[in-house]
Amino acid sequence: MNKLQLRRYAKLLAKTGINVKKGQWVVVQAELDQPEFVEMVVEELYRAGAGKVTVDWSYQPLTTTHYKYQKQESLEAFAKWEIEKLEYRKEQLPAMLYLESADPDGLKGLDQEKFTAVRMSRSKVIKPIRDEMENKYQWCIAAVPSKAWAKKVFPDAPTSSSAVERLWDAILSASRADGPDPVKDWHRHNDELGEKCDHLNRLKLAYLEYKSKNGTDFRVGLIDGSQFCGGSEETLGGATFNPNIPSEEIFISPKAGDAEGIVYSTKPLSYQGELIEDFSVRFEGGKVVEVKAKKNQELLEKMISMDEGAKMLGECALIAYDSPINNTGLLFYNTLFDENASCHLALGRGFNECVRGYETMTKEQLKEKGINDSTIHVDFMIGSEDLEIIGVTKSGDRVPIFKNGNWVF
């Protein structure tokens, strides 16, 4: 891979993704797949002004080993130092950079019931701490290739190294990081996303209606006083950052408990290291009442049973079917990319920043407004080449938003 272009990508993550501040502590979370690139990112973070950079390494195969041999009680337990580490990060608020590279099938065969139970138990400790940190620090999720992930995307590649090379090319292209100045390109991209948000927010929509020939027929209510967001975001302290690279979405958190109809997936969903394929989700009274899947239906059912909020929506995201990612013709088997290929919904936790004035509201007040709360936030793709979306205003006017899968403005 062209090292100059990788260096530009690393610089993009440091300057635009995290937008690191002088003297700031940054934590990088990465698997063992691309240590040379992680070293490059760490150097760019220091060059951008970071005072300290910590790398937390993980290795997906070890997860299956731990779950195979450890008892559930042991996996659920927190050591004193683990809680102290979480509390320390809550106090210090380091910027977080997550580099994804996991094998989409890497946890296949894992005891999913055990995995879910452990996750639910540990979330009782982790979630309250993370809730206190929300909107107070910069974070960014990006990706690097692993051999297993690359071979999944490019099964016809003659070697693992050639598959990794092709996936690097795809990642950089999808992330708008394949040009001579990705930072400049992202500045322009953020401006374009901001213009779309402004247009939608001026409409003061009360509902969104989705229809597609695959059977999707769905209506979801929006929160009074909510706003569409997209591209760069700001912490409560005023630091700008880009949480997802790539990102093509304009999103909003709908009103919890206000959804009717059925939606059909248009891409597989990678969840807990396994793929859920060809599925549908039906809503009544704002909650999921039925799910069907040709592959891994049981896993999908477990997902929506994580807690009460897992049965309600936390996000509606709008992305043109004619998007740079979708136009690659690739299925990435990774939500970060596939969710930005076309429109998606998310079950679970909503985004506080989608409510105007959220910074002055308590968690309870935001919940009363309609922001969903859950231990999960799982995106699944519903965009298609014939998807139509109509926005219904508070006065009852019907405004076309999408036609034939793409923006009408």
Per-domain residue ranges of the chain? 3-174, 203-407
pLDDT score, position 172: 97
Mean pLDDT of 161-174: 97
Mean pLDDT of 221-243: 96
Here the tokens at position 227 are 């706003």
Percent of the chain beyond pLDDT 70?
Answer: 100
| Angle of helix 112-133 versus helix 60-69 axis, rounded to 10 | 120
Closest CA to 245 of 354, 337, 378: 337
How far apart (Å, rounded) are the C-alpha atoms in residues 241 and 142? 13
Mean residue pLDDT of the chain comes to 96
pLDDT in tens, 311-344: 999 999 999 999 989 999 999 999 899 999 999 9
pLDDT confidence of 7, banded at 50, 70, 90?
very high
pLDDT confidence of 1, banded at 50, 70, 90?
confident
- Give yes or no for residue 264 having a pLDDT over 90: yes
Contact 379, 342 (CB under 8 A): no
SS3 labels along 35-71: HHHHHHHHHHHHHCCCCEEEEEEECHHHHHHHHHHCC
Neighbouring-strand partners of residue 140: 97
Contact 374, 349 (CB under 8 A): yes
Mean pLDDT of 77-101: 97
pLDDT score, position 108: 87
Range in 28-37, 51-60, 333-342 with the lowest mean pLDDT:
333-342
How far apart (Å, rounded) are the C-alpha atoms in residues 292 and 300? 8
Mean pLDDT of 81-109: 95
Contact 207, 221 (CB under 8 A): yes
Q: For the domain bounded by 3-174, which CATH number is listed?
A: 3.40.1830.10
pLDDT score, position 127: 93
- Give yes or no for residue 193 having a pLDDT over 90: yes
Contact 270, 333 (CB under 8 A): yes
pLDDT score, position 254: 98
pLDDT in tens, 98-128: 999 999 999 988 998 999 999 999 999 999 9
Contacts of range 324-327, beta carbons closer than 8 Å, 24 or more positions apart? 324/173, 324/174, 324/176, 324/246, 324/248, 325/174, 325/246, 325/248, 326/383
Neighbouring-strand partners of residue 379: 346
pLDDT score, position 112: 87
- Give yes or no for residue 273 having a pLDDT over 90: no
Q: What is the largest CA-CA distance in the chain?
A: 60
Distance of CA 69 to the CA centre of its chain: 31
Mean pLDDT of 345-363: 96
- Give yes or no for residue 272 having a pLDDT over 90: no
Distances (CA, A) of 325 to 32, 152, 161, 248, 331: 26, 17, 22, 9, 9
